[in-house]
Structure 1
Amino acid sequence: MERNFNDLINNMRDSIKGYDYFVCWDKVIGNTGKVEIPLNILNTLIGKQNILDEFRYIIKEYPEVVPVIPMCLAIRESKIDIFDNQESIIYKFYKKKEYTNEEIQHIVDFSEKTGFLNILKNKNIKNLSDYYFGIEVGLDTNARKNRTGNLMENLVEQYLKKMCKQNNISYISQATSKKIESEFNEQVPTDKSSRRYDFAIKKGKEIILIETNFYNGGGSKLKATAGEFITLNNLINKNENTKFVWITDGKGWETAKNPLEEAFNEIDNILNIKDLENGVLEDIVIGG
C-alpha cells in the first residue's frame, strides 16, 4: 500500500476515550473501603468543640486513624516536610501500635494547622467516608494521562489478537528483551536495559517490535519521542530478523508535524488507527 505523510497526519483522531476513561470506579471504591473503619472513627470528631482533646484521645485509643490523616488531605505520603516560620518540620504518619504523647501532639498540631480539624469542628464535612470517596475520585483523575496510553495499547491489542489468531502466530505484551528471549527464544536489539516494547510478534524467525502512543496535546515530548524512535528503528533494522513498527495517533501531532514527518521519512512503518482499520499492520506482519 503506497502511503505518504499526508495520509498519516491528516487522519489523526481527536480522541480514543471510552466511558471508562473518566473515573476508575472499582479503584475508587476499593481504596475507600480500605480506610472505612478509621474514617468512621474520625467521624466522631465532627461537631466537637473540644476537638483537640478529643483527637488526642482517639489517637491514643485508636492509633489506626493516624495513617489516614494525610489521605484526608489528598496526600499519599506518610512523611511530610513542612516549611514553617523559616524552619523545616517533618511530620510522620507511619502505622504504629502506639504513639508517644509527643508524637500525638505532633499529629494534632499538623491536623490543626492544615485546617482539617477546624473543618470537622464546624461540620463542613458531614461524613468522612463520603468526603474521602470524593478525594479518591479527584486523585484518580490524575491517572487519566496513563489511561490514554493504556487505551491506545488496548485498542492496538484488539487488532493484534484477531490478526495473530487468524494467522496462527504469537505475540506478547510489555515485552522486555529478556521476556522475548524467554517466550520466543530469540534475541532482539534494544537501546536501553529498561526498554519495554508494548508488543512483540513472532513470525517464523522474525520478531516485529511495536511501540504505541496517543497524544491529545502538543509539547516537547512529541519531538523527543520522534527522535527516540528514529534511533530505535535504526538499531532494530541492523538485525535482519527484527522489524520496528510505531503506531501513533492524536491531534497533538498537528503541533509537531516536522518531527513526525522526519520520523516518517526515516522509519519504514509508522501507522495510525486508520491504518489499523485498513489492514496495514497485517500487510506488514503477514505480507512482509
Structure 2
Amino acid sequence: MKYSNLFYKLISCKDEDDVFEYLIRNLKETIISWDFFVAWEKVINKVEDIEISLNLLNYLVGKENITEKFAELVSKYPEVIDVLPVLVAWRAKNVKVLDPLDDNIFNYKEYSFEKKSSYTTEEIASLTEFADKTGLLAMFKNENIKSVVDYVTGVEVGLDTNARKNRSGAAMEMITELLIKRICAKNRYNYISQATAHKINELFGYEVKVDKSERSFDFAIDNGDKLYLVETNYYGGGGSKLKAVAGEFVTLCRFLKRETPQHTFIWITDGLGWKTAKKPLREAFDEVDYILNLSMLENGVLENIILEGL
C-alpha cells in the first residue's frame, strides 16, 4: 500500500503496519438496514403472480384419496403444475432426483414442470409420484397446509433470505456511494458507478485496460487530473472465500499497475469476516494501491487521497 502522511494526520497511523492494524481494529460489526431482512414487495409480487393456481391447490386440503384427487386436479387444471416447484422451495422448471435401485445405485428420475395445456396420463402419473414422494400430498391430506397461498408466502420469505448476502453487498455499495457522492459534491469531482472501460472513456476520456471484457468497477472517480478505480464489498462472516477474494484483487491490481499505472486502484472493504482472514488481507494490503474500510472513509482518508492526487 502507498503510505502517506495523511494517514498520520487523519487516523494517527505512523506507518503501513499501523494502517493495517487500524483497518482490522475498525471493521464494522454490521451494515444491516431494514430492507436486509425480507424484500416484501418481491415476495408479495411472486405470490400474486401465481395466486390463482395456488388457490386451486387448496382443493386438496384434507382429501383422503389424495393421489387420485391430485391426478384429477392436474388433468382438469394443468396450470397447477407450473407452481409445483415452489411448494418444495425449488426455482427450476425441472429436476433430476436420485432414486437408487438394488441393481443401480445411481438411478435417476427426471421431472419436468414446464407449462402445458394438458398432460398425458404418463406425465400426470410422474408428477403425482413427485408430489407424493416429496411429502407434499401427505401435507395436504393431513391438513398441515391449510392455505396454499399463506404457505407459499412463507416459502418465498425463506427463499428470499438466500439473497441476504447480495443485499449486504448492495448495502455496502450504497453506503460507499453516499460517501463518494458527498466527496464529489464538495470538491466538484465527477464519478460514475458500474464503470466499464467504455463508459469511463466516453464520459471522462481516460483509457482503461481491463483483464476481462465484462469487467466493471463499482465506481470510477475523476478529480480532473487523475482517475480512481474503486471496488467495494462487505463480509460479515469468515470462510475460505475471503482468501480467494483477496487473491483476485491482488491479481487485478497487478494487471492495472502493469497496463494502466497512471490510474489508482482503491479497494474499500469491511466486515468482521476479515478478522478470520488477516493473512490473505495483509498480502493484498501490501500490493493494492489502497485498501480502506468505512471508518477510514468517515475520517476523510479517501477524500484526501483524491484531493492530493495520490
Query: Please, what TM-score do these two structures have when normalized by structure 1?
Result: 0.94
* Partner secondary structure for residue 20 of structure 1: helix
Q: Report the Cα offset of residue 79 of structure 1.
A: 0.7
Partner residue of 2:116 out of 89, 93, 96: 96
- Do the aligned partners of 1:67 and 1:95 also contact (CA within 8 Å) in 2? yes
Aligned counterparts of 2:256 and 2:100: Cα–Cα separation in 1:
56
Q: Higher RCO, 1 or 2 (CA under 8 Å, sep at least 6)?
A: 2
Counterpart selection for 1:280 from 290, 297, 301 = 301
Rounded to whole Å, the distance in 1 between the matches of 2:91 and 2:256 is 40
Q: How has the CA–CA distance of structure 1 residues 158 and 121 changed in structure 2, closer, same or farther, with 3 Å as cutoff? A: same
Q: Is the 8 A contact 1:205 1:241 kept in 2?
A: no
Instruction: Report 1:37-186 matches (<5 A).
Output: 37-86=52-101, 87-186=107-206
Fraction of identical pairs, as percent: 49
Tell whether 2:290 aligns with 1:269: yes
Cα distance between partner residues in 2 of 1:73 and 1:248? 36
CA displacement at 1:243 relative to structure 2: 1.1
SS of the residue aligned with 2:286? Answer: helix
Give, as a single letter, the amino acid of the residue that structure 2 aligns with 1:76: R
Q: Deviation digits for residues 82-118 of structure 1, max 9, x if unmatched?
A: 1223321111000111212221111111111211111
Q: List gaps (5 residues or longer) in structure 2.
A: 1-5, 8-12, 14-18, 102-106
Letter in 2 for 1:201: I
State yes or no: 1:258 paired with 2:273. Answer: no
From 268, 276, 286, the counterpart of 1:247: 268
Q: Is the 8 A contact 2:221 2:227 kept in 1?
A: yes
The 1:5/1:85 distance shift into structure 2, 3 A limit, reads closer
Determine which of 190, 197, 200 is the counterpart of 2:217: 197
Measured in 1, the distance between the counterparts of 2:279 and 2:100 equals: 50
Of 184, 188, 192, the residue aligned with 2:208 is 188
Distance 1:10 1:41, change over 3 A: same
For residue 110 of structure 2, give the secondary structure of its aligned residue in structure 1. Answer: strand
Which secondary structure state, in structure 2, belongs to the residue aligned with residue 57 of structure 1?
A: helix
Distance 2:100 2:271 in 1: 47
Separation in 2 of the partners of 1:182 and 1:94?
44
Deviation at 1:216, TM superposition (A): 1.4
Instruction: State the shift of 1:59 in Å.
Output: 1.3
Query: Structure 1 residues 186-195 or 269-278, which shifts more?
Result: 186-195
Helix, strand or coil at the partner of 1:67: helix
Q: CA deviation at 1:78?
A: 0.9
Compare 224-233 and 91-100 and name the one that shifted more.
224-233
For residues 150-171 of structure 1, give each alpha carbon's deviation from its aligned partner in whole angstroms, at most 9, with x where no partner exists: 1111110111122222223222
Per the normalisation by structure 2, the TM-score is: 0.88
- Write the letter of the residue equivalent to 1:153: E
- The reply on whether 1:234 has 2:249 as its aligned counterpart is no
Secondary structure of 2:62's aligned partner: coil
Q: Which amino acid aligns with 1:118?
A: A
Instruction: Tell me, in whole angstroms, the C-alpha distance in 2 between the residues paired with 1:246 and 1:159.
Output: 14
Deviations along 1:222-254, one digit per CA (max 9) or x if unpaired, are: 222222222322332342441101101111111
Query: Partner of 2:97: helix, strand, or coil?
Result: strand
Distance between the aligned counterparts of 2:185 and 2:116, measured in 1?
53
Does residue 224 (structure 1) correspond to residue 244 (structure 2)? The answer is yes
Question: 2:109 aligns to what SS in structure 1?
Answer: strand
Unaligned ranges ≥5, structure 1: none
User: Which residue in the other structure is 1:29 paired with?
Assistant: 44
Q: Do residues 12 (structure 1) and 33 (structure 2) align? A: no
